[in-house]
Amino acid sequence: MSENERLNELSIAEAGDLLRRKQISPVELTTACLARIEQLNPTINAFITVMHESALAAAREAEDEIQAGNWRGPLHGIPIGLKDLVDTAGVKTTCASALFKDRVPTEDAEVVRRLKSAGAVIIGKQNMQEFAWGGTSASSYFGAVHNPCDLDRIAGGSSGGSAAAVATGMCFGAIGTDTGGSVREPAAFCGIVGLKPTYGRVSARGVFPLSPSLDHVGPLCRNVTDTALMLQEIAGYDKLDTTSLDSPVDLYTNALNTNTKPRIGIVRHPFFDGLDADIENAVGEALKQMRDLSTDILEVDLPPAPTAVQAPEVYALHAKYFTKSPELYGPWARERLKQAAAIDTVTYIEARQELDRVRRCVGDVFSKVDLLVTPATPVPPITIAEALSMSPEPAGELWLRNTRPFNAYGIPTISIPCGFTRTGLPIGLQISSPNFTEARLLSFAYAFEQTKKTSA
């Protein structure tokens, strides 16, 4: 293994510790990631824009600060990627669409500002489903993202490029968005960790919206510890973001080793219905392992989630562009916008009111249990060819069935690896907890992760 390859395999926690002790440099880390991007991106297509010069400049600045004893924390000098709907001042932010192919924001998104304040090196903008509307990342103006585990298959979406980049060491972590599963599903398909925090926990200001009532911003990383480290830096109230909620931020990494045993709730319907056989077996084994990590495992039910909120909100955001230049949208987005335009105001308002009711009552389930567990996806990733030929019907995309309801509930939800199919495709396990209990969620995910390492 070359020195660059060794560096690419480090976790954020490991790399951060070596940087703090001045045993490696941010420039070495960034150079290793840039080399990996040059090697793999032509086939995986995870990046739309590689910020080569500015990343090296930021790495040199971080190196000077660390050498001078001004270490900012665990992300200082760590190369991080951004889904290409997260605004970056002076750098194209395209949303993977011809409509925005030359769009250059003048300000950083709040999440980027926080990452830079923590000393992170922003290495590039990552490929995605056009305008984040879909779960394949095959429908992009810049071409499909390929799954690193099988290049013929989808990486998931809409944060597919972010997941693929993290999984292959092109960056150490990434920021994605999740409106119906767009962090968790690609994390599951690429074999990494993806966290959708509590709705309003991480500022969405400067992130091009899909559906403001359902949008969440969250990290994708290779393990739970790194996820906690990233969340620590990006979580917090933003008074300029109307969706942001003012709640204290816990010390997430401190909570990882709490060793408390929670009560686990299994939600059978519809999350376990019609599972792929390999996924059913892997999740079954995971539940067996959880017996030693919990005080009780029982079956619970969740309220049905409204389904008519997202499409009208997407259309409202795009109407001015779509009516003027429909040809600048890809076939998938164009068809879905046509469908969304037909949804009447009464239907939307009723669904939006139901969303508020569901978010108020979903917490009742946690009087019986501390965490909820389901498969992250009911099926493995399909092929890119299948994704490009499928009809963009709202009822489609079975792989998002298990993730979508948790955007309506708004509660923190994570996907962590729990095995592989017989053909070597990753399988994800989905875990949820009450609002603003990310520390509890990450602690249990970490305990399960350690169990998997021990049994490997």
Condensed to tens digits (0 to 9), the pLDDT of residues 342-379 reads 999 999 999 999 999 999 999 999 999 999 999 999 99
State the average pLDDT for the chain.
97
Q: What is the pTM of this model?
A: 0.98
Nearest CA to 120 out of 180, 51, 167 is that of 51
Chain center to CA of 248? 22
Nearest CA to 40 out of 170, 174, 186 is that of 170
Strand partners, 383: 153
Measured CA to CA, the distance from residue 296 to residue 291 in angstroms comes to 7
pLDDT of 442 reads 98
Strand pairing category for 193-196 and 79-83:
unpaired
Model confidence at 423, pLDDT cuts 50, 70, 90, reads: very high
Give SS3 for 259: coil
For residue 285 the two structure tokens come to 């084994």
Whether residue 456 has pLDDT greater than 70: no
For 265-320, the three-class secondary structure string (H helix, E strand, C coil) is: EEECCCCCCCCCHHHHHHHHHHHHHHHHHCCEEEEECCCCCCCCCHHHHHHHHHHH
Nearest CA to 426 out of 217, 190, 214 is that of 190
Provide the terminal-to-terminal Cα distance of the chain, rounded to the nearest Å.
Answer: 22
Model confidence at 179, pLDDT cuts 50, 70, 90, reads: very high
**What is 3-301+371-455's CATH topology?**
Amidase signature (AS) enzymes (3.90.1300)
Tally of CB atoms within 10 A around 42: 8
For 273-287, the three-class secondary structure string (H helix, E strand, C coil) is: CCCCHHHHHHHHHHH
Whether residue 168 has pLDDT greater than 90: yes
Degrees to nearest 5, angle at CA 378 with 413 and 306: 60
pLDDT tens-digit map of 210-234: 999 999 999 999 999 999 999 999 9
Model confidence at 259, pLDDT cuts 50, 70, 90, reads: confident
Measured CA to CA, the distance from residue 12 to residue 409 in angstroms comes to 30
Measured CA to CA, the distance from residue 401 to residue 395 in angstroms comes to 9
Model confidence at 394, pLDDT cuts 50, 70, 90, reads: low
pLDDT of 455 reads 67
For residue 30 the two structure tokens come to 């960034």
Tally of CB atoms within 10 A around 330: 20
Measured CA to CA, the distance from residue 384 to residue 114 in angstroms comes to 35
Residues involved in catalysis: 83, 158, 182
Please, is 174 exposed, middle or buried when counting C-beta atoms within 10 Å of its C-beta (0-12, 13-18, 19+)? buried
Measured CA to CA, the distance from residue 195 to residue 220 in angstroms comes to 7
For residue 350 the two structure tokens come to 């009723």
pLDDT of 152 reads 98
Model confidence at 78, pLDDT cuts 50, 70, 90, reads: very high
Model confidence at 265, pLDDT cuts 50, 70, 90, reads: very high
